[in-house]
Amino acid sequence: MPAGRAMNNWDGNKKLLLELSREGENSACADCGAADPAWTSYTLGIFICLNCSGVHRNLSGISRVKSIQLDFWDDTLVKEMRNKGNQAVRKCYEAKVPPFYYKPRAADCRVLKEQWIRAKYDQKEFTAANSQWQEFIALEPGAGDRVGCLWKRGKDKGRFRSRIFHLVEKEGALLYYTKEGVKGPKGVIPLSNMNAVFQPEKIGNPHGLQITYLKDGHTRNIFVYHKNGKDIVDWFNAIRAARFRYLKLAFPTASDTDLIPKLTWNFAKEGYMEKTGPMEKEPFKRRWFTLDTLDRKLLYFKDPLDAYAQGEVFIGHTGYGYDVKAGLPSGVKGNKWNFGLTIVTPDRRFLLTCENDQDLKEWIKAFKEVISKPMSLQDYTAEATLRRKQRR
């Protein structure tokens, strides 16, 4: 349309839009919070990141995407973007997000972002007009019970098998059964000490979920997935809802703000390092490490998908004999890797090596965060239990 083109100032519009994308809430992706979003959904009127724009692209009925830099913008569209924007649109589509519901962040996996964006704009689950979550929250405990099949990784060559999972709030547990009609559950995962983390890379499935809990004082991992993205994210939020209700009963004086970070949590850092034994003369062996900041635990595994850790180390506070230092004692050398660090605990020190300097820095930063965090009453109990176990 040459006439329209003449009326539009393309370069000027791009500049206006770029300025608008740096104002207030527009400067972070409307869906995952990533900084400096370069894309928009111009039908919804929001600024989004490249990753989230990929999800919006598949919702063509409600969302159309345009790049700020690469596409043409006419006067009317720029005006509409100014009238809407991230803050105003969030007020509408996130009016009633339940407190336990997980809002993905930039570093989270694709399935979490995709289902969040679909729930928000396609299903409109959180608008003021939609009362499904309000009704759900008002219901008695037990209303959140859920039953369904998930594929669970087994011991035999890591094959995944279909298992029936049953979330039963009254029993305070997530149960799983090998077959329908079987009497007792094969596993009982207590709501009191469970965590769930999406681990698509580690599990090798885009919907892979790791569930961690305590069994007879030992940390146990199970790995599951569901073929359907919505189902696995619904399971994840059902676990969070059940944990939320459980924790509210267990800690009646705690505020929602205190409890929400404890519903499920991501690990501070995971990856391979080499370690030697307590004599510090044993050959360094490559192990998979998981640092859990909330539970103050360092776990190491032979294989990242092992059910049980080879070792669990409590990481206490700096004032109680815990420390982390770069480097190894003189004369000690790693096997294949040279970037050493030393973890000091009251019982023994752990000598570890990382593959590169970047990894070393990340591990030290993660350990320092735990060590500088004050210990809670529960932490002291956990410390006593773990240290007793280590001495055996």
CB of 66 to Zn ion, least distance (A): 15
Query: Is the CB of 55 or the CB of 324 nearer to Zn ion?
Result: 55
CB of 49 to Zn ion, least distance (A): 3
User: From the list 20, 34, 59, 209, which residue makes contact with Zn ion (rule: CB under 5 A)?
Assistant: 34
Query: Is the CB of 29 or the CB of 298 nearer to Zn ion?
Result: 29
Residue 212 CA to residue 191 CA, distance in Å, equals 11
Q: Report yes or no: 41 and 48 within 8 Å, Cβ to Cβ.
A: yes
Query: Is the CB of 52 or the CB of 354 nearer to Zn ion?
Result: 52
* 3-state secondary structure at position 255: coil
Tell me if 44 contacts Zn ion by CB under 5 A. no
CB of 327 to Zn ion, least distance (A): 39
Query: Is the CB of 49 or the CB of 360 nearer to Zn ion?
Result: 49
Residue 263 CA to residue 278 CA, distance in Å, equals 35
229 burial class (0-12, 13-18, 19+ CB within 10 angstroms)? middle
Query: Is the CB of 17 or the CB of 298 nearer to Zn ion?
Result: 17
Chain-centroid distance of CA 155 in Å reads 25
CB of 193 to Zn ion, least distance (A): 32
Query: Is the CB of 41 or the CB of 345 nearer to Zn ion?
Result: 41
Query: Is the CB of 49 or the CB of 194 nearer to Zn ion?
Result: 49
How many other CB atoms are there within 10 angstroms of residue 133's CB atom? 17
CB of 111 to Zn ion, least distance (A): 14
Give 303-307's long-range contacts (Cβ < 8 A, gap of 24+). Answer: 304/202, 304/270, 305/153, 305/158, 305/202, 305/203, 305/221, 305/223, 306/221, 307/155, 307/220, 307/221, 307/222
With b for 16 or more beta-carbon neighbours within 10 A and e for fewer, the 167-198 pattern comes to bbbeebbbbbbeeeeeeebebebebeebbbbb
Number of residues counted as binding Zn ion (CB under 5 A) = 6
Which contiguous run of DSSP H or E holds residue 166? strand 160-168
In what side-by-side order are the strands of the sheet with 195-198? Answer: 187-190, 173-177, 160-168, 146-153, 218-225, 209-215, 195-198
Tell me if 209 contacts Zn ion by CB under 5 A. no
Which two tokens mark 290? Answer: 């998981």
Tell me if 32 contacts Zn ion by CB under 5 A. yes
Tell me if 49 contacts Zn ion by CB under 5 A. yes
Query: Which region, judged by CB under 5 A, interacts with Zn ion, from 30-38, 71-79, 120-128, 163-171?
Result: 30-38
Query: Is the CB of 29 or the CB of 150 nearer to Zn ion?
Result: 29
CB of 95 to Zn ion, least distance (A): 20
CB of 248 to Zn ion, least distance (A): 31
Site for Zn ion in 155-194 (CB under 5 A): none
Query: Which region, judged by CB under 5 A, interacts with Zn ion, from 46-54, 145-153, 245-253, 370-378?
Result: 46-54
Site for Zn ion in 51-80 (CB under 5 A): 52
Residue 219 sits at the vertex; the CA angle it makes with 218 and 225, to the nearest 5 degrees, is 140
Tell me if 29 contacts Zn ion by CB under 5 A. yes
Please give the residue ranges that form the binding site for Zn ion (CB under 5 A): 29, 31-32, 34, 49, 52
